Amino acid sequence: MTEATAVMDAPAGELGLAPELADAVVDTWAEDTEKAYVVAPDRILEVLTHLRDGQGYDFLSNLTCVDYEGYGGKLRAGIDARLEVVYNLYSTRRGGGSIALHVRVPEDDTVPSATSVYPGANLQEREVYDLFGVKFDGHPNLRRILLWDGFHGHPMRKDWHEAYYEEDAKPFRSRHPKGEYEFHEDKVPWAKNTTYPAGWDPDSWQEAVAYVPVSQAPQHENEPHLDTESIVVNLGPHHPSTHGVFRMLTRVEGETILALEPEMGYLHRNHEKIGERNTWLMNMPFTDRLDYLNSMSNNWAYALAVEKLADIEVPERAEYLRVIMAEFSRIVNHAWSIGFILNDLGALQTPALYAIEEREMILDLFEAVSGARMMCNYMRFGGVVRDLPEGWHEQAAYLANERLPRALDELDRLLTENEILMARGRGVGYLSVEDLISLSVSGPMIRAGGLAYDIRKAEPYGIYDRFDFDIPTLPNSDIYDRYYIRLLEARESVRILQQALRDIPEGEILGGRGGYTLRAPEGQVYGRLEAPKGELGFYLASDGKTQPWRYHVRSPSYINLNALGPMSVGYKVADAIVILGAIDIVLGEVDR
């Protein structure tokens, strides 16, 4: 880890504000769970700037909002403001825990946009605007992001109901003991359900081309001898190399990209709204469907957050099992992503198919232990659901000790020194690591830029502090390094696996009280871990009932897309495809 750059005057988690800012903090909240500082809306930028510059909180990890309309808990007694914008800040230089800031907003008020302090607030603020209707003053491009422009209402507000709306909370009463089955499609009240925002006419509406960075892109001036014109080109949403249903809106001149904007939401299913109807445990299998390549880490991240909130112990053996599954999952992810970076480069299929051979074996192991290859649903609050079956340990040990190292070496030989890969990858998609951090990018991307920031070391969770492993870094922050860092990380995962499989003790796998009737205590929590794609976090707020009051997923794929535009400008269209590939996104997690 690099030298600390700021002089710290407060321990992590404590707000050591300069005297002139002391009155900016108007309240504290939820001390029993994770303490939050409530900041006056008009002072929030000052506070953020101070924390960033004076205290080293350079990473805006999570920005979301909570709607407290109809909240029944005790903690909000006497507080009128309906909405509460939440900021979680971390220090990538120093590591350690987060500072949580809240800003309370009445329904129609605006909040100053944090994008001037943390450019990474861009996508997250747009999401909050889209789903909650909070307006951010000074945001460069505040328009809907997951939903389409003609969408009526803000679905994460508690008074917004979906088309199939039955009740506010599961279990629904109609299922038992009378169980009158109704065909879901019959229930969609199309006629009643389709309403439009005021002043919006579906017939005359045309998609605006007012995409700020794209429409206002600078004219290309490098080639004055050519009489050219820049045009807007849509890559996607159905283009295979966009890795799913995803659109890159570009302004190009010739082959050169002048501006690029990610457009998403085609796979949006309002995961978080579903999550607030679900009981705590019901959300577990839903997390499988976020980053569907890594259901094991998704499970763990969610379990981690809930365990933190409800203070649940995890038995020793379960901790080991979690590490084993998560690291296998990281290898699966990295093999996959290496294969597809190469695919995007034009090395069709051969590297991809070689890379996923071992993935097959690992998925077989997942299936043997959890019952499914990808939708594992394996972890529970307080442990894991099943112990290893007969023979599993030997097979896993064979993989970790023999097969995987061999396969990674082979992948290395196949690709790393390949001249074409170097020519295409070196120096392409460069963005300095400082820029990446200010854009809230996390995971392999920043490690390929030279910063050894990995939550497994910076704020160890589970039992990661017991293992001997390194955080590989590479200096160049280009596509080539983003490819190679994943190979190096997979090697470290193998090392962790070898130790975990050697040391795993016998014993309990599931602690007592995380069942389906769990009631988490009132309060809030932000739990995160180092998922293969970056920081995966769950922000949870509870009013003490059997359902989460707020269930928010801070997904690395989504937030890493902040950097897609800045990284692509100036490169060719063909490079933009690989730049996207090297971010390694999964649309299930981007769109949620």
Partner 1 sequence: MFGTGLLKGLGVTLKHALETFEDDRESVPDRYKGSLDLGNNRKVIQQPIDQEGLLTIQYPEEKRLLPERFRYIPMLIWDSEKQEDRCTACGICAKVCPPQCIWIVRDSDENGKPVTRCSEFYIDAAVCMSCSFCVEFCPFDAIKMNHDYELAVYDRYPQLVYDMEELTVPLEYYAALWPTQYEEEQARRKEEEEQKRKQEEEKAARAAARQAAAAQKAEAGAGAPKRSAAELQALAKERAAQRQAQAQGQTADGGGDDDAAAAKRARMEDLKRRAQERARQRKLESGNGSS
Query: Binding residues for partner 1, per CB under 8 A?
Result: 170-172, 174-181, 183-185, 278-279, 281-286, 350, 354, 357, 360-361, 364, 367-372, 375, 377, 385-386, 389-390, 395, 398-399, 403, 410, 413-422, 515-516
Longest distance between any two alpha carbons in the chain, whole Å = 78
Query: What 3-state DSSP class applies to 39?
Result: strand
For residue 317, the minimal CB distance to partner 1 (Å) is 18
Residue 24 Cα distances to 48, 106, 283, angstroms: 11, 18, 37
For residue 521, the minimal CB distance to partner 1 (Å) is 22
- Paired strand residues for 112: 137
**Which residue, among 338, 463, 344, has the nearest Cα to 407 in the 3D structure?**
338
For residue 331, the minimal CB distance to partner 1 (Å) is 15
In the complex with partner 1, the residue whose CB is nearer, 294 or 440, is 294
One-letter identity of residue 567? M
In the complex with partner 1, the residue whose CB is nearer, 4 or 423, is 423
| Bond prior to 566 in cis (omega within 30° of 0) | no
In the complex with partner 1, the residue whose CB is nearer, 311 or 357, is 357
Check if the beta carbon of residue 413 is closer than 8 Å to that of residue 355.
no
User: Using alpha carbons only, what angle is made at residue 226 by residues 222 and 229, rounded to the nearest 5 degrees?
Assistant: 85
- Is the C-alpha dihedral spanning 403, 405, 407, 409 positive or negative? negative
For residue 137, the minimal CB distance to partner 1 (Å) is 39
For residue 52, the minimal CB distance to partner 1 (Å) is 40
In the complex with partner 1, the residue whose CB is nearer, 294 or 295, is 295
For residue 360, the minimal CB distance to partner 1 (Å) is 6
Assigned token pair, 318: 């379960």
In the complex with partner 1, the residue whose CB is nearer, 138 or 285, is 285
For residue 540, the minimal CB distance to partner 1 (Å) is 17
In the complex with partner 1, the residue whose CB is nearer, 177 or 202, is 177
In the complex with partner 1, the residue whose CB is nearer, 120 or 351, is 351
Residue positions counted in the chain: 592
In the complex with partner 1, the residue whose CB is nearer, 150 or 511, is 511
Query: What 3-state DSSP class applies to 93?
Result: coil
For residue 183, the minimal CB distance to partner 1 (Å) is 5
Residue 243: phi, psi to the nearest 5?
65, 25
In the complex with partner 1, the residue whose CB is nearer, 148 or 398, is 398
Alpha-carbon span 483 to 334, nearest angstrom? 9
Check if the beta carbon of residue 141 is closer than 8 Å to that of residue 117.
no
Per DSSP bridges, beta strands 135-137 and 231-235 are: unpaired
Check if the beta carbon of residue 546 is closer than 8 Å to that of residue 276.
no
In the complex with partner 1, the residue whose CB is nearer, 128 or 284, is 284
For residue 491, the minimal CB distance to partner 1 (Å) is 17
For residue 344, the minimal CB distance to partner 1 (Å) is 17
Contacts of 530 (CB under 8 A, 6+ apart): 443, 454, 455, 456, 536
Alpha-carbon span 100 to 525, nearest angstrom? 9
In the complex with partner 1, the residue whose CB is nearer, 148 or 516, is 516
Residue 132 Cα distances to 85, 101, 105, 148, angstroms: 10, 18, 11, 14
Check if the beta carbon of residue 448 is closer than 8 Å to that of residue 337.
no
For residue 403, the minimal CB distance to partner 1 (Å) is 7
In the complex with partner 1, the residue whose CB is nearer, 10 or 188, is 188
Alpha-carbon span 581 to 543, nearest angstrom? 40
Alpha-carbon span 357 to 15, nearest angstrom? 49
Query: What 3-state DSSP class applies to 503?
Result: helix
Residue 76 Cα distances to 30, 35, 157, 440, 526, angstroms: 9, 14, 17, 30, 19
For residue 343, the minimal CB distance to partner 1 (Å) is 15
Assigned token pair, 211: 């995409």
In the complex with partner 1, the residue whose CB is nearer, 266 or 392, is 392
Check if the beta carbon of residue 6 is closer than 8 Å to that of residue 53.
yes
For residue 584, the minimal CB distance to partner 1 (Å) is 22
